[in-house]
Amino acid sequence: MINIVKYSDGKGLQAVTPDELLKWDYNCSEKLWVDIYNNSEKESYDLLKNTFEFHPLAIEDSLKYLQDNTIHHPKIDIFDEYVFIVFNGLKVQEKTFKYDLFSLSCFLGHNFLVTVHNEKGGNFLTNNIKLILNDSTFKKGPDYYFKSYF
């Protein structure tokens, strides 16, 4: 599943399809969040490579644990146009005192955030849409909503 939202001053928040994302201009003033969860590895790789031109090893690391529940060693890699961050999250199971670990990979640029994760039980944008999706949060940029949510 790929969820994409963009924010622009004139239009506010809008949902974007993966096909529309191919037309997105990296140098524009729009702010973007792409959330990839439980998606095919090929489709995810193509989107990360063709749209954002991320480093192949960073893409490989982000997709390595997409389909299973294995966790990844935390890391930060700094590239010219973005920072690649991998860390592990904790999701508490409702009505039990058990928890699941999941891997979260983030590509954070000046006007975009791309998240790739293998979390059980749903994804960030769908489960927390009211917390995340508002104009005032997105207006401040991807570093702000990264910090606010994670």
How far is Cα 112 from Cα 30, in angstroms, rounded to an integer? Answer: 9
- Of 16, 39, 17, 12, the C-alpha closest to 123 is 39
Q: E strand or H helix at 125, and its extent?
A: helix 124-127
How far is Cα 37 from Cα 47, in angstroms, rounded to an integer? Answer: 13
- Looking at residue 121, what DSSP letter applies? T
Q: What are phi and psi of 109, to 5 degrees?
A: -120, -175
Second CATH level (architecture) for the domain 2-149: 2-Layer Sandwich (3.30)
pTM score? 0.85
- Binning the chain into helix, strand and coil, the percentages to the nearest 5 are 30, 35, 35
Q: What pLDDT, on a 0 to 100 scale, did the predictor assign at position 90?
A: 73
How far is Cα 57 from Cα 105, in angstroms, rounded to an integer? Answer: 13
Taking only the tens of pLDDT, the chain with its 150 residues reads 888 888 888 888 888 998 888 888 888 889 999 988 878 888 899 999 988 999 999 999 998 866 566 677 899 999 999 999 998 877 777 778 787 777 889 999 999 999 988 765 555 555 555 556 677 777 788 888 777 766
